[in-house]
Structure 1
């Protein structure tokens, strides 16, 4: 205890002398700045050992380490190191990746640092500067969990955080990924999604986060919870990452970084898009990428930038496109801020920036290159640059999006979600008026912010930012970068609060409140509830009051905790009001076990089949419950396949296609052998019951064709796929094959917005609405009713099995558009005749895996072996052991030219670009390791060991 007291006494004496010395130098510098009228940031002062008396420490050695705080500079050793170590270059990695670099002294006082522990004694330790990082991580997590508990999200209730695409896409794809990891499936291809997809490409877009590999530890029934709480974890990491960036960039030990980290983690961007789990890795990595680029420009240290950008691109290439675009602008900004005038230095920095940016892309090439090839077959492969320039909204309206509790935009409107705490309205004005911040920095930062306003509003810039495409909903996906810049500038004002006159704070408050009042008067958008403006003024007033208490020197602990509470409250209110919508978890999983068990009962076997769940939750039910299927909803959807589905009368859109609208003929062509039904169905003559489980019923389609079957050469040219009525397209196939029609039109009566007919025979009935202005149709089927949405997509409306003599009425209750409708009865005898013709020369499978198909086919005459597999250049086809060039039939499917006779057919899949990408990634890793080794060797030769003298 005596040693501890002596250590504390000596530490205080040493600290007082350091502050006294530093204070004298700051006064000298301040007087010089005032004389010259310089408003630039105060120059950092190095600790001068000559100006401080040497102290001999007559205490035991084992207590000395407590004196050596990481913030202290060791005078003699630094002087010795400066003489020994030359300027570092880009290969100095030994200290770049350390988490605990020494922080420089002489920085502006922060919110915490202004009050020393002298007034509060031991109470000062209640809030330590290092706790800021912990608060930035845990506060957003706690807020999210409290909201989850309030909303009854599992395990606090039976709700789930499955929102929009998370419901329809991400949960099924995560389930499929987990299934492959736990069952040893291939990550290259999947039959459980959309007739067969390039899983490597789907992985690159949705699943590439390294954290997702933890799914291997997740039980099957808790995939939803894995996603939900991984989102919460990533939100916490985002707050931690941004706070750590502020600390490193500004070289401060300040609890206040937590305040800004919380708003970064719970911003309007997160409120709108946090359910896009695959984007969040880029959001949390972005501050580290920024810090890495700053180290590249300032210190020629490139590894942090390269590794974090490479990880970002690997995790989600789409959001990384926006990060890479911004890196170019920020690199230029850093060159201006650093004041580099030598062309040689600019050229060196530019070369390093280009080299390590390319290396970052090289590190992710194994994931990125297959995705680039796959995108060429999607709707994203089209490129139509805007021909005119237009603006969506005014800067005033965009600034108003900073107000709390404004409803986020996730639809087709272009509004940016840029809320990051209402205090930024006031702090940004303080930033502009702060004399301690360089004018050059203000100009550069304001230019970047203004550029983002233009990017949100100008159509051409919006087009470029989103990878040269207009986003299909979810606008301004790059707005997290704007939020980063805004919070960064406000933090610069925050660390100078003790130097900003109170009257400037009052003026900033007055201007901010005036803006809110003007917004209340001028903005009529429904996204702004009347309470938004009152809440904004309330929090602005509270923040102004806290600043006043701070400048008066009130209790540090109380003030910090009070500020943390207010900030947490505002962030929680905004997140509660604008985010975390729920859906029933019970309904989402209620038939999972029964459906999966019925599907699993069909395996193992060499016979290829597909299953369609008739009463499905999503178009990706096959991925969710892990069985081969036809339907798909994904941004990687094959555009040729969506077009073909529409021609046959199945529902399709830009990035989706499904079996909805399918007839038994289409099921037969697509090898849909089984159907899962939520209720027992009538005997329709085309399927038979197989088994049932907990009110789920499995039926087998009698006329399902094999994965491959022979077609005559002339069928492709003779089949009229461009007919506008899909019922006629299907009948035309029968005609070309020499079979009977499969659909027969029934007499009907149309009276404006209604349509009526009476079945003359029992059977499955379909309706086609040719008026594309009709969006919704309601059908009265005897005592039953059925509704159809998105009718304008031109798919056949499945009325189901109807009894003869029962009047059927369809109405357009959505608008006044007349129904232009034709009704059809499906003819099982027509399907039987088509099946008999095509099944005569079908392929007999002997092996079927994720990436391999083997079988035999006997052709009566030369023709095309049609395979109901989407065309993909990754497939290698062999006939009798020889590689042959596959043919893209109907501009959609895989086919092979086959001569008469019996042939062995084999297919093997390897995603296009995967091998090349793997080589590039391996080469990039080797190159970086060589650089790291050379750097480590140089560091050992020129960096002497520090020896601290106490005498």
Structure 2
């Protein structure tokens, strides 16, 4: 007990630096009744739609399937995972998730969030203490300002980025120690750790360090020789830090060339993105809401004490002029980066962010707090001239925000008045800074805690969150159904599974099955491009496999389908918030066989599903894919696979029986399909009727402009379920097994003018499809080994000029052997692996290893060897000096 008391007395500033942010945010989460404290959760936007599923995948990988670190078929139809891990999952904080299974995963996410808040405060407090920049209660005051800065609060949902805030003060501390004779080692190793944990945010840290070292050299300048030595250590440490992280950076860089790098902006506009004065609104408490997520201003709130200290820094005559001039230059560059497009693009690696703009503003907040700490260290008290200047600056800022309040929908008069009060108190406290009273540091800390807490509360109160039950109950029911499917399969069976309902596009990673849907920032562009070509909703970074046809399901091996159990009656308490959110209508499920069911979900087995690999005509290597019509594309693929001499159209256009218009007229231009409302303020509909003459499926194709903003579809009075975001023409499952049953399709115009782009009814020819599929099913690749990175099996080729066609995406990481001999992999449809084979029986093995991973391992190992050798040399040298004296 005595030791604990002694430890607390010696380290209470650091303990407070950790626990104040932790408890402040923990108290807020508890008050908002976030699980495990109530019915809500921290899940919102990407945290609820993307990261939560990756975290479940993280647990499954570490506990059950370690090969998924490199590759997984839960990522769409299969994909490299190393880049996903590098962007989303390498944080050491994630190990906490191993302790929180099932519904407790959201509690694990909360604990990680609180730990990152606390560790951000602790790391900044450590920087202050080790550089003797602050002491006593000033340490937790500044640390709390840093840990609860506006960027942190606004981006707590981007949990994967928060490690950068924890690591930045430690990296800066290592840089500062270069000026006190330390070697490059500590700086190099912690920079390498940052790059490994999250290379994306660490890229921004590296840019900031390039500015920081220039200021630090000016600040610590004693001679040109000293400057050259420190700069040399900084450059060497930076290069070796990057080299030490090569094990992650090299394979990740390759992955980016297949995904995000393809969206790099090549045309730069030399302009301001908004009036820079609007940034002043972000210095007010609570300056955040949902609208600021997709397109907003930089989140730079740091509190009135820090802002005052930062501004006073530039007028402190106790600091050398060269230091203040260097700081002014760095500040100007940082502020300009927050509003000038070319610099903004540079910080984001030449790609405009999709949502969450100005992601680098955490380094700006760090800069504000760090300079404020230095300022408060040298400031005896707020002098009258400086006080007048500050009052003038703050008065002008508040006047600007107040008079333009209507332009800032995330602010209100109460928030401005609160900020005015906090600023006034801060100036009064700084005026009494020289007072020896022990109450002053405590009062400053109290002001910081109240102000930063108020900002967090006001900001986060404007965001809605996913109900815990919506996540936990859905996941439990999905896992139960998936496990029922798995009970009837063997470990060597490979199959894909899809659903007519969806919570997120990464449900497969949450529940551990192979699918075709996916959403991530590191998604290879080739797969969404293919999915768009066959009529699926797809875009940059996502696929929602919502529009499968009998052929696309069969080709991609969708052996099982999950659909809502129609006999299950949902609890009325859920109102319009269904447990199984509908994704698509799928009448052609009538061609599949129902096998099992749970209370909520029916399980269907697809009798047409092809194996992961199968014998197909070599014509598939030269299939015609030059079409923007998904029905034609699918027919072309079918014919190439089967090797038909006479082309068989799987889909043929059909005419509707009748069409009627209500408050709609067609434009007079010939062959146009553009329709206008006659009376703009009245409902307008186009109604088509059709009676299927066969039980075959009938699919409707609609162009990319026909989303819910333009039109609404209903079939026989019931709203048609269709995923709303798509950039290509998609195929909608309209009817199946409905011979002689009238169908009425109603299109309601939601705009005054609508172009019915690529609007066409298509008849699917089941007989021709079935005959071709039976032929392709006759020679499957029967797996004897089914692992993510190691697939092996037997196949019999009955005809000459055939290939083993697979639905494994072709990437450079795959290597193939046939009967023990290495063979060259071909690419079919610009997407899939295909292997030419001779007639007869063969054993085909495919193994995956991320490109450049071996080179990365070699560079990392060599660099760490150099570091170890240098550390040993320094140790021996210090030991020798000790003996001399």
- TM-score range for the pair, normalised by the shorter chain length: 0.7 to 0.9
Alignment map for 1:204-243 (pairs within 5 Å):
204-243=86-125
Which residue of the partner structure matches residue 631 of structure 2? 727
Q: Is the 8 A contact 1:414 1:456 kept in 2?
A: no
Alignment map for 1:510-589 (pairs within 5 Å):
510-522=392-404, 524-553=407-436, 555-557=437-439, 559-579=440-460, 581-589=464-472
CA distance in 2, matches of 1:454, 1:838: 61
Which residue of the partner structure matches residue 14 of structure 1? none
Offset at residue 644 of structure 1 (A):
0.8
CA distance in 1, matches of 2:96, 2:861: 24
SS in 1 for 2:743: coil
CA distance in 2, matches of 1:417, 1:714: 56
CA distance in 2, matches of 1:607, 1:665: 21
Which residue of the partner structure matches residue 689 of structure 2? 758
CA distance in 2, matches of 1:799, 1:164: 31
- Residues 891-933 of structure 1, C-alpha deviations (whole Å, 9 max, x = no match): 1111112222222111111111222212222222222222222
Alignment map for 1:451-490 (pairs within 5 Å):
451-490=333-372
Which residue of the partner structure matches residue 111 of structure 1? none
Offset at residue 140 of structure 1 (A):
1.2
- Residues 8-67 of structure 1, C-alpha deviations (whole Å, 9 max, x = no match): xxxxxxxxxxxxxxxxxxxxxxxxxxxxxxxxxxxxxxxxxxxxxxxxxxxxxxxxxx9x
Which residue of the partner structure matches residue 697 of structure 1? 602
Offset at residue 787 of structure 1 (A):
4.9
Larger radius of gyration: 1
SS in 1 for 2:319: coil
Which residue of the partner structure matches residue 853 of structure 2? 914
Alignment map for 1:759-838 (pairs within 5 Å):
759-761=690-692, 764-770=697-703, 772=705, 774-776=707-709, 777-788=711-722, 789-799=724-734, 803=738, 804-813=741-750, 816-820=753-757, 821-838=759-776
Structure 2 CA distance for partners of 1:509 and 1:683, relative to 1, 3 Å: closer
Structure 2 CA distance for partners of 1:729 and 1:252, relative to 1, 3 Å: closer
Q: Is the 8 A contact 2:247 2:859 kept in 1?
A: yes
CA distance in 1, matches of 2:96, 2:488: 29
Alignment map for 1:395-410 (pairs within 5 Å):
395-407=276-288, 410=292
Which residue of the partner structure matches residue 577 of structure 2? none
**Structure 2 residue 520 is matched with structure 1 residue 634:** yes
Offset at residue 320 of structure 1 (A):
0.8
CA distance in 2, matches of 1:864, 1:458: 54
Alignment map for 1:56-455 (pairs within 5 Å):
130-186=11-67, 187-339=69-221, 341-342=223-224, 344-407=225-288, 410-413=292-295, 415-455=297-337
Q: Is the 8 A contact 2:305 2:448 kept in 1?
A: no
Which residue of the partner structure matches residue 5 of structure 1? none
Structure 2 CA distance for partners of 1:529 and 1:271, relative to 1, 3 Å: same
Alignment map for 1:835-874 (pairs within 5 Å):
835-859=773-797, 860-874=799-813
TM-score relative to the length of structure 1:
0.82
CA distance in 1, matches of 2:191, 2:727: 43
- Residues 184-216 of structure 1, C-alpha deviations (whole Å, 9 max, x = no match): 431221122211121222111110112323433
Q: Is the 8 A contact 1:775 1:814 kept in 2?
A: no
CA distance in 1, matches of 2:527, 2:474: 29
Offset at residue 882 of structure 1 (A):
0.6
CA distance in 2, matches of 1:374, 1:335: 37
Offset at residue 672 of structure 1 (A):
1.0
CA distance in 1, matches of 2:435, 2:226: 46
CA distance in 2, matches of 1:942, 1:499: 45
Count of matched residue pairs = 820
Offset at residue 556 of structure 1 (A):
1.6
- Residues 834-889 of structure 1, C-alpha deviations (whole Å, 9 max, x = no match): 31232233322222112111112222112332110111211110011111111122
Q: Is the 8 A contact 1:766 1:824 kept in 2?
A: yes
Structure 2 CA distance for partners of 1:181 and 1:510, relative to 1, 3 Å: same
Offset at residue 267 of structure 1 (A):
1.1
Offset at residue 735 of structure 1 (A):
5.0
- Residues 524-569 of structure 1, C-alpha deviations (whole Å, 9 max, x = no match): 232333333222211111222333454455x424x43333232212
Between 601-610 and 640-649, the greater mean CA deviation after superposition: 601-610
Q: Is the 8 A contact 1:425 1:512 kept in 2?
A: no
SS in 1 for 2:713: strand
CA distance in 2, matches of 1:205, 1:603: 33
SS in 1 for 2:548: coil
Offset at residue 603 of structure 1 (A):
4.0
SS in 1 for 2:565: coil
CA distance in 2, matches of 1:370, 1:345: 38
Offset at residue 629 of structure 1 (A):
1.2
Structure 2 CA distance for partners of 1:574 and 1:786, relative to 1, 3 Å: farther
CA distance in 2, matches of 1:514, 1:945: 64
- Residues 77-123 of structure 1, C-alpha deviations (whole Å, 9 max, x = no match): xxxxxxxxxxxxxxxxxxxxxxx9xxxxxxxxxxxxxxxxxxxxxxx
Structure 2 CA distance for partners of 1:945 and 1:865, relative to 1, 3 Å: same
Q: Which runs of 5+ in 2 are unaligned?
A: 567-585, 662-674, 676-683
Which residue of the partner structure matches residue 619 of structure 2? 714
CA distance in 2, matches of 1:629, 1:900: 32
Q: Is the 8 A contact 2:282 2:301 kept in 1?
A: yes
CA distance in 2, matches of 1:934, 1:198: 40
Q: Is the 8 A contact 1:133 1:255 kept in 2?
A: no
Q: Is the 8 A contact 1:455 1:461 kept in 2?
A: yes
Structure 2 CA distance for partners of 1:169 and 1:750, relative to 1, 3 Å: farther
SS in 2 for 1:758: strand
**Structure 2 residue 846 is matched with structure 1 residue 938:** no
- Residues 334-378 of structure 1, C-alpha deviations (whole Å, 9 max, x = no match): 222222543x54443333222221221232222222111111211
Q: Is the 8 A contact 1:260 1:491 kept in 2?
A: yes
Structure 2 CA distance for partners of 1:497 and 1:383, relative to 1, 3 Å: closer
- Residues 101-157 of structure 1, C-alpha deviations (whole Å, 9 max, x = no match): xxxxxxxxxxxxxxxxxxxxxxxxxx9684222222111111211221122210111
CA distance in 2, matches of 1:568, 1:179: 39
Structure 2 CA distance for partners of 1:128 and 1:728, relative to 1, 3 Å: same
Q: Is the 8 A contact 1:661 1:798 kept in 2?
A: yes
Which one of the candidate residues 832, 835, 838 is aligned to 1:896? 835
CA distance in 2, matches of 1:814, 1:229: 46
Which one of the candidate residues 671, 687, 712 is aligned to 2:592? 687
Offset at residue 706 of structure 1 (A):
0.8
**Structure 2 residue 539 is matched with structure 1 residue 653:** yes
SS in 1 for 2:805: strand
Which residue of the partner structure matches residue 53 of structure 1? none
Q: Is the 8 A contact 2:382 2:430 kept in 1?
A: no
- Residues 724-758 of structure 1, C-alpha deviations (whole Å, 9 max, x = no match): 22123223444554475433444333753644333
Q: Is the 8 A contact 1:209 1:315 kept in 2?
A: yes
Structure 1 vs Structure 2 CA RMSD: 2.7
CA distance in 2, matches of 1:445, 1:581: 39
Which residue of the partner structure matches residue 76 of structure 1? none
Q: Is the 8 A contact 1:774 1:812 kept in 2?
A: no
Q: Is the 8 A contact 1:879 1:905 kept in 2?
A: yes
SS in 2 for 1:808: strand
- Residues 447-490 of structure 1, C-alpha deviations (whole Å, 9 max, x = no match): 11110122122222122211222222211111111101111122
Between 272-281 and 526-535, the greater mean CA deviation after superposition: 526-535
Alignment map for 1:738-757 (pairs within 5 Å):
738=644, 740-748=648-656, 749=659, 751=661, 752=675, 754-757=685-688
Q: Is the 8 A contact 1:414 1:457 kept in 2?
A: no
CA distance in 2, matches of 1:467, 1:147: 35
Alignment map for 1:1-80 (pairs within 5 Å):
none
